[in-house]
Structure 1
Amino acid sequence: MIMGNFTSLKYACFLSCLVGCVGALSAKGNKVDKINGRNIPQQVHIGFGETTNEMVVMWSTEHNDSSVVEYHTGDNSDENVKTVRGNTVYFPENANGLQFFHRVLLSKLQPGVKYYYAVRGEKRESISDQFSFVTPDSNEKQIFMIYGDMGTMTKSLPFIVYEATGETKYTSIFHLGDIAYDLGRENGAIGDKFFTKVERMAARIPYMTIPGDHEMFPKSKNQYLHRISNPGKEWPMRPEDLWYSVNIGKVHFICISTEVFFTNKMNIQKIMDWLVQDLEEANTQRQKYPWIVVMAHRPLYCSTDDKNEDCTKAHSVVRTHLEDMFYFYGVDLVFSGHQHMYERTWPVYKNRVLAYNYLDPRGTVHIVIGNMGNVYLTEKGSKPGGPWSSFISRSEHEMYGRLYVYNSTHIYWEVRGAQDNDLYDSRWIIQRIHGPFNKSSIFIPDPLGAAGAAWRRQQEDSSDFINLRFFYMNGDDYTNRITVLTFTVIILLFGLCFKKKILNIVRLCFVKQESLPK
């Protein structure tokens, strides 16, 4: 293990040096391009539109130019390449960076298809490298990378970029606020540096974000509004509308700004009204999108030693506004950052643990994964903040999370080190009764399980004679079938033990009695 970790660290260091060299060569190339009059697109990144059948492509340039995307599905012959135009905005606040931001919306994409694209200005000489992305297929397993509080100072940033573009096929990346540290620092130079460093992954995997407190800093706020485009929202974005939702696979993701509770309180009622409307709609579609997952910057629960943090207080502002709503509408998971640590709770409501397991939880599970920025600040939780705390990482490693959504009932969560990829935490969450937690529900399994449902559909679609081999040839739903077998044996044993009494009862009920002579 030690040798493996050492090899991983050497590889990460080599990769970091390689990225630096590439950056230096790129900077040299930009000087040549400027001399030749070329306006090469840089900092390319993508994100979902209002649905996963839409993709937003964004980039920056040094000089004013058109915003054009050319894309195809593998055949780049002229008749198969589509060209889409978008918008360009001038952003003078980016005094030490690129001041022209571009945005193009690709629509009517097909699910599960790999698209190749390049971006350019009006002249073809300005075309970028070719990138690609794959649109999600709702029938397939989805994998999401999740982390918070990551900037240019994060030591593991080169590893994260390598991991995101490696063997694991991520559906999207969620960055839970506090981006770049900070987007507006050095008059935009840091924002440019960050999006240059993440381009390799953000140009290929939808890079979804929410604002943190650092995005509300005066010099960073407008940067965030121009560099990011939220699904279904205007661009440049409006500061009073920094929240959105999007359905990906089996999950309804709700991405909110918790900063409204601490900055512009005029927006509190607006976000609360929007949340109610969104959650109401989401619960009407629970059959199609059973999981509801919230992405937020500030956590509702945490065990940090810093008692000035909102999540440690008895009357937490964020918890006061959101917890009842999450419980009432059955929000399954809440991911957050802000605290530079890792922590996972049991299903919890009002500081009360509802179960010490993750089987059909009747409350929300909260996960804090904000320690990607711990080179900037490391926070510790020396003891659990309450009985609801299930796991706290004592390590000061930078970590990231993977969320595997297998189907309507099973998801798997794991946390890995961002320098050695070692596994630090993992849990299955099984939820078979999606819906509001305030309604009492009892899960009664189909006696034949999922295999039985599939078998019945097969019989409806086929005229063949009943084929029971389906049950023992399929490997799924083993537990339910064992349960059925166990109860069948119990019933048979009960019948054997009390067969005389059972026969007498049957005789009394169904056999006609002869009347006795007077």
Structure 2
Amino acid sequence: MGLAGATPAAASPVLWEKPGALGAPRVAGLHLQFGSDASREVVVSWHTIASVSRPRVLLGTPAGGLGRTVAAQTTTYRDAKSGTEVQVHHARVRGLRPDTDYVYAAVHEGAQAEFGTIRTAPRGRSAFTFTSFGDQGTPTLGKKNDSGIYVNDNLGSPAAGDTTAGVERIAPLFHLVNGDLCYANLSTDRVRTWSDWFENNSRSARHRPWMPAAGNHENELGNGPIGYGAYQTYFSLPDAGADTELHGLWYAFTAGSVRVISLNNDDVAFQDGGNSYVHGYSGGAQKRWLEAELAASRANPGIDWVVACMHQVVISTADKFNGADLGIREEWVPLFDRYGVDLVVCGHEHHYERSHPIRGQQSNDTRTPIPAATDTQTVDTTKGTVHMVIGGGGTSAPSNQLLFPTPQCRVITKVGPADPATGKRPPVYVLEDAPWSAVRDAEHSYGFAAFEVDPGRPGGTTSIHITFYTVTGPYGDLVPVDRFTLTRPRGNHWRQLASVQGYGASSRPCAKAPPLACEQGHGCAPYVVGRIHVAATVSQRTATSVQRMGVEYHSLAKPFPRVGDMFTLLA
């Protein structure tokens, strides 16, 4: 969906435009998204029900006024339940400067302009803050009952407004929404529910990109070929090269030295949680993209941190709730391990908890994650990936009161046959102990996390200081509940072994080492992972440094059968 480019305004800077005839639809649900280059490109979006003329954005600087016009492209979907056609207007603003403030007004003919601000992402290592929560809902009542009284039918609560106010107290560069945005697929009026969600959050999202991951409650019966037609229309997200019907369901962007990767877990999760069961819908396309994206991120000298944003979870210690999903553990976690993903933020479980850094899995029925360290205050993410469940964005069905007294996890290992009456496939659970559990919050139902990125100094370490806040009222009053720090070597130690190459041109295999092959047994070309026994041709000093870097290694060369062959390693 290409958008029209920018053209200079013919007149002097315009601050606003006079409303036209009564009845023109207003600019509703104003929100931002980063473009493919978050330091230079932002998309400004809003929606209407009726058609409008000349949707556009007026852009400028705080000091210079609005002197540039960017035309918007209109995309539509027709809600299958109500028959209502929704028009969403996306103005792609290109050619911006990194780490710079702008002002803008969104307008179409006959409407009063709505104003917002833009802060582009920094390019290169810089300090900034982002925030995250999932499972928000709306603070409104969207359904009339038989008595004509409005009631809640989309799991919303007043807290869905409180958390937005809390995010604005932090004023982050961007906000990650970890799925289940508004639960429109549960509501009688899906279009109204989406509109209510944007109206609640526009006070924040018009000033900073709200970057979403699609959750199971974004899957709406009849809306689009897979069910995400509404979500895909309301948001214009960075292009991941996917087919048109998959556009926007996974994507990535970079802010400073942080690469954010957004995934749609319905593709791999076993749980039947949407309006339709779409397990495996991409035919492996998302997984292929993810591995290529992770490999490219770890090969990029400007990327220190890799953060995954998704909905369904790898870890949860809530009883009688959704639970963890074996499908995600089988499909995503080995890739997170292989490429050293630092942090995963998710929702789905409506409480807050986090894991120890995990690396590897037990060979049991649930593929239990293995904790690599147990310090809960300072976590070295070169040892493993930290998973955070941040699902208290505002839903009226919190799970913080359902935590197992001693950490355990219910894992969905498969689904049963579809129920003839409902068509739903019931989950089959296996209970596991949870040695990976680090911190859980049983006291607070609602909150979000803030992530302060500290780029550090050359040759040193870089850190992300994380605070989980609970929100105590409608004005965004915040109380810190959990604080900890992620740390890793600056400059991405995954490339430090690039110089440890050419262990010798000899074709003789090391007598003590097995052939280097994928431990999962499926090739992994062009990347090969294996446990390496350092051959005698390597100096003791090099061997020691290699062994200290860890046990999993990845080759940039073609698959090789012997340790003695020439290759380049990434640790």
> What TM-score do you get using the length of structure 2 for normalisation?
0.66
Letter in 2 for 1:359: D
Larger CA deviation: 53-62 vs 301-310: 301-310
> For 1:207 and 1:336, how far apart are their aligned partners in 2?
15
Partner of 1:131: 116
State yes or no: 1:39 paired with 2:20.
Answer: no
Which of 218, 230, 249 matches 1:242? 249
Structure 1 pair 304–89 and aligned structure 2 pair: CA distance change class (3 A): same
1:279 to 273, 287, 294: 294
CA distance in 2, matches of 1:157, 1:260: 27
CA distance in 2, matches of 1:188, 1:290: 40
CA contact (8 A) 2:126 2:257 kept: no
Alignment-derived partner of residue 58 in structure 2: 70
- How far residue 98 of structure 1 moved from its aligned partner, in angstroms, is 7.3
Which of 388, 407, 418 does residue 436 from structure 2 map onto? Answer: 388
Give the whole-Å Cα distance in 2 for the aligned partners of 1:341 and 1:256: 20
* 2:75 equivalent to 1:89: yes
Q: How does 1:45-194 map to 2 (within 5 A)?
A: 45-52=31-38, 53-65=40-52, 66-76=54-64, 81-93=67-79, 95=82, 99-121=86-108, 123=109, 125-138=110-123, 139-152=125-138, 153-166=156-169, 168-182=170-184, 185=187, 186-194=189-197
Could you tell me how far 1:165 is from its partner in structure 2? 2.9
Q: Does 2:309 align with 1:323?
A: no
Aligned residue in 2 for 1:296: 310
Whether the 8 Å CA contact 1:225–1:236 is kept in 2: the answer is no
- C-alpha displacement of 1:238: 2.6
Q: Distance in 2 between matches of 1:270 and 1:418?
A: 39
What is the match of residue 355 of structure 1?
Answer: 373
Q: Which has the higher strand share?
A: 2
CA distance in 2: counterparts of 1:130 and 1:309, whole angstroms: 42
Q: Quote how far apart the aligned CAs of 1:264 are.
A: 3.9
**Alignment match, 2:555:** none
Contact 1:360 1:432 in 2 (8 A): no
SS at match of 2:179: coil
Amino acid at match of 1:426: R
- Equivalent runs, 1:392-471 vs 2, <5 Å: 392-407=440-455, 409-419=462-472, 420-432=477-489, 434-435=492-493, 442=548
For residue 397 of structure 1, what is the amino acid of its counterpart? S
1:403 touches 1:414 (CA, 8 Å); kept in 2? yes
CA 195–400 in structure 1, closer or farther in 2 if over 3 Å, else same: same
Query: How far, CA to CA, are the matches of 1:307 and 1:119 in structure 2?
Result: 42
1:196 aligns with one of 195, 199, 224: 199
Alpha-carbon offset, residue 343 of structure 1? 1.0
Contact 2:453 2:463 in 1 (8 A): yes
Report the counterpart of residue 343 of structure 1 in structure 2: 353
CA distance in 2, matches of 1:384, 1:254: 29
Question: What do the CA deviations read for 1:12-45 (whole angstroms, capped 9, x no partner)?
Answer: xxxxxxxxxxxxxxxxxxxxx8971433211110
Q: Which moved more, 1:371-380 or 1:266-275?
A: 371-380
Q: 1:49 to 1:237 in 2, by over 3 A?
A: farther
Contact between 1:97 and 1:192, CA under 8 Å: does it hold in 2?
no
Q: How far did 1:241 drift?
A: 5.6
Q: Find the residue that maps to 1:170 and give its secondary structure.
A: coil
Q: Name the aligned partner's letter for residue 428 of structure 1.
A: T
Q: Distance in 1 between matches of 2:286 and 2:407?
A: 31
Gaps of at least 5 residues in structure 2 are: 1-18, 139-155, 270-277, 362-368, 409-433, 457-461, 495-528, 533-545, 550-571
The letter for the 2-side match of 1:106 is: V
Task: Give the AA of the match of 1:414.
Answer: T
Greater displacement, 90-99 / 244-253: 90-99
The CA distance in 2 between the partners of 1:51 and 1:245, in whole Å, is 10
State the match for 2:397 in structure 1. Answer: 376
User: Structure 1 stretch 235-244 or stretch 97-106: which is displaced more?
Assistant: 235-244
The alpha-carbon distance between structure 1 residues 362 and 187, as it changes in their structure 2 partners (threshold 3 A), is: closer
* Contact 1:344–1:366, Cα closer than 8 Å, also in 2: yes
CA contact (8 A) 2:239 2:248 kept: no
Separation in structure 2 between the aligned mates of residue 361 and residue 355 of structure 1, nearest angstrom: 11
User: Tell me, what secondary structure is at the counterpart of 1:411?
Assistant: strand
Indicate if the aligned counterparts of 1:397 and 1:418 stay in contact, CA closer than 8 A.
Answer: no
For 1:317 and 1:395, the matched residues in 2 are separated by 30
Partner residue in 2 for 1:259: 266
Query: Cα deviation per residue 1:290-326 (whole Å; 9 max; x = unaligned)?
Result: 1111111111122121376344xxxx11101111111
Q: Which runs of 4+ in 1 moved over 3 A?
A: 94-98, 233-237, 433-443
Q: Quick check: 2:104–2:115 contact (8 Å CA) kept in 1? A: yes
- The 1:299–1:90 alpha-carbon spacing in structure 2 relative to 1, beyond 3 Å, is closer
Say whether the 8 Å CA contact 1:184–1:223 is kept in structure 2.
no
* 1:97–1:233 CA distance, 2 compared to 1 (3 A): farther
Q: How many Å separate the matches in 1 of 2:485 and 2:162? A: 26
CA, structure 1 residues 333+187, in 2 after alignment: closer, same or farther (shift >3 Å)? closer
Aligned to 1:82, what secondary structure does the other structure show? strand
Query: Do the aligned residues in 2 keep the contact of 1:58 with 1:104 (CA within 8 Å)?
Result: yes
Q: Is the alpha carbon distance of 1:145 and 1:62 closer, same or farther for their aligned partners in structure 2, counting shifts above 3 Å?
A: same
2:541 match: none
* 1:149 Cα offset (Å): 0.5
- For 1:327, what is the secondary structure of its paired residue? helix
In the alignment, is the contact (CA less than 8 A) between 2:184 and 2:218 conserved in 1? yes
1:355/1:361 contact within 8 Å kept: no
Match of 1:372, SS state, is coil
Rounded to whole Å, the distance in 2 between the matches of 1:180 and 1:360 is 32
* 1:148-203 Cα distance to aligned partner (Å, 9 max, x none): 1101113223333323333x330100000001122673141111111111111011
CA RMSD, 1 decimal: 2.7
Match of 1:5 in 2: none
CA contact (8 A) 2:75 2:88 kept: yes
Q: Is the 8 A contact 2:79 2:85 kept in 1?
A: no
What CA distance in whole angstroms lies between the structure 2 residues aligned with 1:402 and 1:127? 34
| Residues 361-403 of structure 1: CA deviation (Å, up to 9, x unaligned) | 4111111111224423435222213111011111142011101
SS at match of 2:397: coil
Kept in 2, the 8 Å contact 1:42–1:60? The answer is: yes
What CA deviation, in whole Å up to 9, does each residue of 1:205-227 have, x standing for no partner?
10100100101131562211111
State the Cα distance separating 1:282 from its structure 2 match.
0.6
Write out per-residue CA displacement over residues 114-166 of structure 1, whole angstroms, 9 at most, x where no aligned residue.
11101112x3x424222112112244311111001101113223333323333
What secondary structure is seen at the aligned counterpart in 1 of 2:203?
Answer: helix
The answer as to whether partners of 1:378 and 1:396 remain within 8 angstroms in 2 is: no
The alpha carbon displacement at 1:288 in A equals: 0.9
Tell me what 1:306 maps to: 320
Task: Name 1:3's counterpart in structure 2.
Answer: none
